[in-house]
Every structure is written in C-alpha cells, then in structure tokens.
Amino acid sequence: MRYWSVVFALAAIFSVGAFVYAPLSGDWWLPNPSGDMHHSVSSFGREIDSLFVIILVITGVVFIGTQVVLVWEAYRFADRVDDAGRPVRQARYFHGSQRLEVIWTIIPAAILVFIALYQMGTWANIKFRSAAPKVQPTAEVTARQFQWIFRYPGPDRKLYTPDDLYTVNDFHFVKDRMTLINLRSSDVIHSFFLPHMRIKQDAVPGMIIPVWFDSDTAGHFELVCAELCGWGHYKMRGNVTVHASDEEFAKWQADLLAEQNRSQLSMATDNQGR
Amino acid sequence: MSTESIGSDPGGPAPQATDPGRGHAREHGHGHDHIHPAPSHFLTKYVFSQDHKIIGIQFLFSGLIFFVLGGLLAMAIRWQLAWPWKPLPILGSALWSSPSLGYQMPPEFYNKLFTMHATIMIFFVIIPLLTGAFGNFLIPLMIGARDMAFPKLNMFSYWFMWPAFVLITYSFFVEGGSSEAGWTGYPILSIAKWATPGSLNGQTFWLMALLFAGVSSLMGSINYITTIVMLRAPGMRMFRMPMTVWAMFITAILQAFALPVLTSALIMQLLDRTAGTNFFSPVGWQVANSPPVVGGGGPLLWQHLFWFYSHPAVYIMILPAMGMVSDVIATFSRKPLFGYKPMVIAIAGIAGLGFIVWGHHMFQSGMNPALGATFMLSTMMIALPSAIKVFNWLGTMWGGRIQYTSAMLNAMAFVAMFIIGGLSGIFMAATPVDILIHDTYFIVGHIHYVLFGGSTFGIFAAIYYWYPKMFGRMMSERLGLIHFFLTFVFFNGTFFLMHIIGMHGHPRRIADPLVYEYLNRAGVIGMNQFMTINAFLLGLSQLIFAYNFLASLFLGPKAPVNPWHANTLEWGTSSPPPHYNFARIPTVYHPPYEYSVPGVEQDFLPQTEPLPPGIVLDPVMA
Ligand code: HEM
Ligand SMILES: [Cu+2]
Ligand SMILES: [Cu+2]
C-alpha cells in the first residue's frame, strides 16, 4: 500500500522534469527567435523573462518541498497491520501547533509581498502612461474582424493627415527604438500580442490605448490576436518586420507611398468592403 | 419550544443529553412538535421531493450527466488542436454533411465547443455537484438537523435548474447555434448579433440559462446559511462543525453576496441584446458593416461586473471541495485535523479577499494599470490562506496511519494537484509575467489544475466517501483504485504540458495553432498530440467510474452504518438515513476530528459519544 507514494512521486518528477528540460529546448521555452533561444529580443522581454525565472525558482522550491513532504508521508505513514491484523502503530494525537502555524503564515506572506513589490517597477514601465516614451507614435493600430490595420504618418511625419500610409496585417518598426503605437478596435475586443516582445494589450472599442516596446533584433516576427473575437479569431495574424535602421524603414515607407499613390485607391477604402 | 435560543450557543457549556422531545421541535423550524409522515407517492418521494437527501441525489445525477456531455465536448476540442481540420472520427461526416469541405469542423463550431464545454463544466457540473449535491445531502446530516430550514425552497432550487438545463441544451439547435463568446461572454462579441454565428440567438439562450442557474444557487445558499445558523443539534457549536459544513457555509455567504452582481450583469447584457440598451457598447463601433452604434457604455463594465462574481465563483468551485477533502484526510489518517481553527480562518480569509481580487482577470484589458498594481498585491495575499491550508493538510497526514482508500487517494491527489494550480497562480498574479501568459494555454493549464486536479478530485473523493451513506451500498474499492490511478496519470498527461506551451505563447481559444510560425514547431505540435491522446485515455478511464457508480447501486454490498469509522454525525444514522435523518436528534459532545485519542479504546470518538471517564481532549486549537 505504501507504494501509492510512488504514483505521487512520479507526477512530481514529471512536472519538475518538464520545467528542467524546457530551457534546453527552443520549442519548450519562452518565445524567442529560432536558433537563439536564450535571447529575448526586447528590453521588456528581458525584464519579464528574468521575473519569470525568479518566480519559477521560488515556486519550484516550494513545489519540490511540499511534494517531498507529501510523498514521504505517503510512504512513511502508510497504514500497516501486523500478522494479527492490528495496526502496527497508532496515529499520533495532536491538533496542531500555534508556532508552526505562525511560521508558515509569515514566511509565505513575506515571499509573496516581495514578489509583488519586486514586479511593480517593471509593470509601471510597461503599462503606466506616465512611462510612455515621449515620441511621435509610429502607427495607429486598429483591430477589426479579422485583421490588423496600421496607419503610419506619411512624409509630413504627422498622423491623421491626408498623406497617411496604410498597411494590413503588416507591421514595421525600427530596431533599438522605443516604439509607440495607439491601439484601437473598431468592432469587438481584440488583443495585440507580440509574443517575442512580451507585449499584450487588449484593443477595446471606444478606447485608444498607447502601447510601447522595442526590439534589439532586426528580422521577422509575428503578431497574434489573443482575445476571442469571433469565428476567424485563430487566423487574425500579422507579420512584424523589425528594420535594422531608420534608413531601411524610410526606404520601406517611400516604397509604400509610391505604391499607394500608384494605385489611387488607398488601402483604407479598399478595406471597407470586406 | 425550548427556551434556549436556537442553535446559538458557541462557547456555551455542552448541553446535557436531555429529553428527546426538545430536539425535534427546534430543528423543525416552525415550532410544532410532530414529524410529517414520509411522503409515500412516487412523485412526491423521488421527483418533487422536499427531502434534502433526495434533492442532493437529484443534483448529483444531473451534474454527472452534464459531466459526460462536457467531457465529450472537451475531447472534440482536443481532437481539433492535435490534428487541425481533420474531420472528427465518426461524428465528422454526420455533423457536417459537406464533403466539399472534407467534413472539416467549421472554426465557429470550435468556438462553440470550448464555450459550451467551460459553461457546462462550471455552471452545470462543478457548482451543482459541490454545493447542490453535497451541500444539500451533507449539511443537515452533519449538523444533526432533520432537514433544511426551507424544504420547499430547496425543492425549487433544484427545479429552477431545469429551465437552465433545457435552455443550455436547446441552444445547440437554435439558428446560428450555441453561444461562442467564451464562458466569459465578453461584449461586443456577445451583444452584436452579427459578430459571429453564435451571437445570433445562442447567446440569448446562454444568458437565460445562466440566469436560472443563478436563481437556483441563490435559493440554495439562503437555505444553507439559515439551516446552519438555526438548526444545529444541541452541542453543535460553530467550532464543532466539520470543515465540510464550514466550507459550505462560507461558500453560501460568498454566493449570496456575489450572485446578485452576476444576475444584474446578465440582465443588462440581455437588455443590450434585445431591448437596444447600451450598457456595454461604446460610441461608434461597427460590426460587419452594420451602421455604427450610438453607444454610451463600455465593454470594461461587463468585465468588472462579470469578474466581480466569477472570481468569487472560482472559490465557490473549490472551497466546498477543500472542506470535504479535509474531512476525508482526517478520517483516513486517523488523526485530528491539523489546525482546525486556522483552517476555518483561512477559508473565511479566502472568501473575504475573494471580493477584492477580481481585477487580476483584467490586467491586460485596458483598465487603468495603476489598478493592476493594487490588484497584484491583493491577489498575492489570497495565495496565503491557500498555502496555509496546504500546510495544514500535510500536517494532518504527518504521524498518521494513512489508509489508502479510493476516497483518500483522491483527496491526496487534490492536495498534490492543488499545489500546482496554486503555484501557477503566482505567475499570473505577477502583472508583468501575466503580460506574456494571459490568454495562453498557461491559463488553461492553471484552470484545470484547480478545477479538475482540485474540484473534480475533491468530488471523486466525496463520492467514494459518502456513497455508502447516500445509497446504502458500498462501491467497489478495487475499481475505485484503478479508476483513481488512471485518472491521476492521464490527468497529468493531459494538462501539465499546457503550462509549457502556454509560456511558449500558445494562445488559448484558437482553432488552428499551425497558422502561427512560432507554434508550428515540432515540440509544440508533439505536445498537443500527446495531450490529446492523454485526454482521450482520461475520458475512457471515467467509464470505470461510471460502471462502478451505477453497478454498485444494485450490486454493491450493503453498507454498514459507519463503514469508515468516522466521527461526524451522518455516520451515526442508518445508511441511507431514514426520512428526517435521525430517529432521535443527537447531542454533540466534542469536535469532529477526535481520532486516535489516547486512552479511548477505538481509534475514533463519534461526536455523539460522551467522553469516557478520565480522558481529556487535547485543548490546543481544538
Ligand atoms: C477530460 C477532461 C477535460 C479536457 C480534455 C478539457 C479540455 C479543455 C480545453 C482544451 C480547454 C481550452 C479551450 C481553449 O480555451 O482553447 C478547456 C477549457 C476550460 N475547461 Fe476544460 N477540459 C476537461 C475537463 C474540465 C473540467 C472537469 C472542468 C471544470 C471543472 C473544465 C473547465 C474548463 C474551463 C473553465 C475552461 C476555460 C475555457 C475558457 O475560458 O475559454 N474542464 N478545457
Ligand atoms: Cu481579433
Ligand atoms: Cu481574436
């Protein structure tokens, strides 16, 4: 009967094993560029990853500790009977211990408060509007079923003027720049999720929400819709291009402008008839 | 009536065993001194019964039937995720008679699957089983009452579930099909009729079903509170109540305070959908080229109202299980519960804090991020009482004489799995980390470690433990152990790796993960398939339970009065208990967990047996 403890032990080993293996495999760890799995591409990403690891270590220790106790108890205190069918030992009779109770209240409380306070700064940097970079927004992003519409400032470098540029499901920004966008939704709630930059923010109809992030790696990434938004939710995917330099970005914009002028129809009207 | 004020003698001297007449006047609630004869007609006895035991069993069967439905939906979800767009085996060609699409599952159907799976599991399985079935069956028996305070209200609380059952089942067949706005029903998706097929009519049915289920719960909770306050047997002080009763009591209070908020939110959404109000719609949104709406409200209002109920609701879904598991662990460790009073305080603490943490579901919602910071603190604090409870269960087993019954194993699994569910909660409570894992499979993993690893193992423990009392027959222990073993293994196989793909950024509620490059990786696909295979095996293992449960009703050996040698009052009356529960209202002499008291010959000491001379109970915290 005491071998039931093995069942509990195996579950714990499986759980710990999965998290021990995770950092060794690109597919199991936090989303990072392929081939470079221990390198988050954004400054927020690095902060969040290290907070993740800290919590993983703390919870891991607690998890292993409690499971060891549980498995040990399941093994050690299993009921055994002697040949005459009488219990080999009697259970101990006690109702608890005030001192233990106090200890295991205060220590976890301290750890939890520590975790909470330790995270505050990062949270404030990522979300508090007062921390938003004082730059012109790179784009206004409007989510709708089931696409992402980007509106960039045109040659006059101002948003909401007639020369604005539009793309659909195609997001561009520049490496090493804190990039600011204004996030909106024109129908249901969507969620702007950049897994590689560790950015997620719901796009709520009726609200304009500033979101900012950066990337220290040029290349191609993905934009996900993380809030259920209807039957096509799963395919509301965007391409993200991080340009290596301002020049490259400017060139992309110039090309886009040329194309947009050529086709007369702006993307915006094009998109009206879905 | 007795002059002693009803049931309120905390701290008072243990009453003497007095005249038998005194008991049944007080528990009867309306002061006359006779017992109604047991109903003899089949309809009044088993269908429109006012007997709390029958009502509990009615809830039990209904919940288990919906469990089967919810489980089948879950397997269909898993199928699609492991092998996207491969037609469902057998069902595929029957459900979608369109060979041109290769009998694929339409994406909106996938959305219906997880919406209805979650709705059914939460509102039609877990809550009705925990509070409806076990709350009803156990509360009067455990406090030594003859029935609930309001038996007729109790009957209505079950029959108000029927409109809910019918509406939610019927919603699959209405135009547009069932709701697909998720079990959280977030606007605008839920209120704009053309936003997605399920928003056409299914959402209206969903709202009405939840309204009825809510009314049912409210009736139940009022009854529980009144019964526990008013109808305790002589000597049953508050601090002599078993943890199960404490947990049900606090859950009922939680429900009574939180449910009205959900009810009003549901009505508001219903009005938005049908009467053209704009509680949840802002100015100028537009779905699928419909004219822009002149709004005035906002979707965040729904989220606040919804989570103000639904966060406490997740404790409604776990506290009763915690209470029952405490009883089971103490019984099968043959030891007093470690820290009984701290456990009660912890439950009350969870309930109190439960009301100020709802915002942690809204960290990424666009709510003021400064609120996020305060909700992070309160959420961290609610982890504390949960931790205390875990340590107390471990302390209870320490030095015990653990008996591996099916009930005990399920209870231990509850503890082991609840630890995982609790610890993953800390990641989500930490707001910056939550940015990554919110709305990913990490959350789905967490939910299931709490709801399946926690509540469901708790329900299994409770069924194995109280089945003999409910039905007067024993379940097969051997089948019970096999069922436990398979369930435990495949449960972990199904849900653990969800944490891993979640932290890899796998969003939840997406019909086809392969659309995304970063998810289109061997490891992620492999894990999805591994989970699905385990999910199917998990589902199959439940057949053993179903067989054991049903066959034992007829074939199980007759149950003795007290098969587990437990102390609480329900084990002092016949199995199953007679109409009105007790031939004579018991008198209670001590706390519920006096196992292995030195000097007492047996290793248990029923609450109704006076202390043998010369024995002193351990005063610490008892
Ligand atoms: C065989 C057992 C089960 C399997 C395989 C299963 C599978 C799933 C899956 C795959 C999802 C994710 C849907 C998504 O968000 O993409 C889900 C969601 C959910 N399940 Fe289960 N489930 C099972 C049992 C249960 C039980 C017993 C409960 C309740 C006690 C439950 C409650 C929920 C809830 C609340 C959600 C959240 C859905 C949402 O918010 O979208 N499940 N389940
Ligand atoms: Cu979307
Ligand atoms: Cu979406």
Q: Which domains does chain A have, with CATH numbers?
A: 1-82+97-129 (1.10.287), 139-265 (2.60.40.420)
Q: Using an 8 Å CB-CB cutoff, list chain A residues near B372.
A: 123, 127
The helix/strand/coil state of A140 is strand
User: For residue B301, is pLDDT > 50?
Assistant: yes
How does pLDDT run across B26-80, given as a tens digit for each residue? 444 444 445 667 777 777 777 788 999 999 999 999 999 999 999 999 999 999 9
As for how many domains chain B has, the answer is 1
User: How far does B240 lie from chain A, in Å, by closest CA?
Assistant: 14
User: For residue B98, is pLDDT > 70?
Assistant: no
pLDDT at B90: 72
Q: Using an 8 Å CB-CB cutoff, list chain A residues near B521.
A: 26-27
Decide: B143 and B241 in contact? Cβ < 8 Å: yes
How does pLDDT run across A126-154, given as a tens digit for each residue? 999 999 999 999 999 999 999 999 999 98
User: For residue B127, is pLDDT > 50?
Assistant: yes
For residues B380-406, average pLDDT: 94
- pLDDT category, B101, cuts 50, 70, 90? low
User: For residue A206, is pLDDT > 70?
Assistant: yes
The helix/strand/coil state of A147 is strand
User: For residue B201, is pLDDT > 50?
Assistant: yes
Tokens read off for A152:
């960039």
CA-nearest residue, atom 6 of ligand 1: B74
Nearest Cβ partner for B366 among A11, A69, A204? A204
Residue in B closest to A105 by C-alpha:
B388
Higher pLDDT, B127 or A39: B127
B615 within some domain? no
The helix/strand/coil state of A220 is strand
Decide: A11 and B412 in contact? Cβ < 8 Å: no
Least confident of A153-157, A192-196, B495-499, B544-548: A153-157
B602 within some domain? no
Site from A32, A43, A73, A100 to mutate, B interface, most B CB atoms within 10 angstroms: A73
- Residue linked to tokens 């008013």: B230
CA–centroid distance, A229 to ligand 2, in Å, is 5
CA distance B501 to B478: 36
B582 within some domain? no
Nearest Cβ partner for B384 among A69, A105, A202? A105
Ligand 1 pocket, residue B114 CB under 6 Å = yes
Q: Which residues contact B120 (CB under 8 A, 6 or more apart)?
A: B66, B69, B70, B73, B168
pLDDT at A51: 95
CATH code (residue B333): 1.20.210.10
Count other Cβ atoms within 10 Å, centred on residue B34.
8
Q: Given the CA of residue B531, which atom of ligand 1 is nearest to it?
A: 5
- Segment 178-217 of chain A within 8 Å of chain B by CB: 185-189, 191, 193, 195-196, 198-207, 209
- Segment 324-383 of chain B within 8 Å of chain A by CB: 333-340, 342, 364-366, 369-370, 372-373, 376-377, 380-381, 383
B82 within some domain? yes
Tokens read off for B234:
């002589």
For residues B327-332, average pLDDT: 96
B580 within some domain? no
User: For residue B315, is pLDDT > 80?
Assistant: yes
User: For residue B86, is pLDDT > 70?
Assistant: yes
Q: Sign of dihedral through CA atoms B225, B227, B229, B232?
A: negative
pLDDT at B10: 39
Count other Cβ atoms within 10 Å, centred on residue A251.
12
Domain that residue B203 falls in: 49-283+301-571
Tell me the Ramachandran region of residue B472: left when phi exceeds 0, alpha when psi lies from -120 to 50, beta otherwise: left
Higher pLDDT, A34 or B135: B135
For residues A186-212, average pLDDT: 95
CA–centroid distance, B114 to ligand 1, in Å, is 7
B586 within some domain? no
Higher pLDDT, B491 or A32: B491
Q: Which residues contact B152 (CB under 8 A, 6 or more apart)?
A: B50
pLDDT at A18: 96
Strand partners, A185: A143
Residue in B closest to A9 by C-alpha:
B416
Ligand 1 pocket, residue B106 CB under 6 Å = no
Beta strand residue intervals within A79-169, DSSP E: 139-144, 147-152, 165-168
User: For residue B475, is pLDDT > 70?
Assistant: yes
Angle between the A98-127 and B406-429 helix axes, to the nearest 10 degrees? 40
Decide: B557 and B548 in contact? Cβ < 8 Å: no
Question: Average pLDDT over chain B, rounded to whole?
Answer: 90
CA–centroid distance, B447 to ligand 1, in Å, is 8
Nearest Cβ partner for B430 among A4, A51, A97? A51
Do A120 and B376 count as a contact with CB atoms less than 8 A apart? yes
Of B583, B586, B580, the residue nearest B14 (C-alpha) = B586
Check whether the bond before B375 is cis (ω within 30° of 0): no
Q: Which residues contact B469 (CB under 8 A, 6 or more apart)?
A: B141, B559, B570, B571, B575, B576, B577
Burial of B291 by CB count in 10 Å (0-12 exposed, 13-18 middle, 19+ buried)? exposed
In angstroms, what CA-CA distances link B385 with A7, A239, B357, B456, B561? 27, 45, 14, 21, 35
User: For residue A85, is pLDDT > 80?
Assistant: no
CA distance B74 to A107: 39
Ligand 1 pocket, residue B506 CB under 6 Å = no
How does pLDDT run across A6-63, given as a tens digit for each residue? 999 999 999 999 999 999 888 899 998 876 777 789 999 999 999 999 999 999 999 9
Question: Average pLDDT over chain A, rounded to whole?
Answer: 90
Site from A58, A101, A144, A185 to mutate, B interface, most B CB atoms within 10 angstroms: A101
B391 within some domain? yes
User: For residue B248, is pLDDT > 60?
Assistant: yes
Site from A228, A235, A241, A269 to mutate, B interface, most B CB atoms within 10 angstroms: A228
B27 within some domain? no
pLDDT over 70 for what percent of chain B? 91
pLDDT at B617: 84
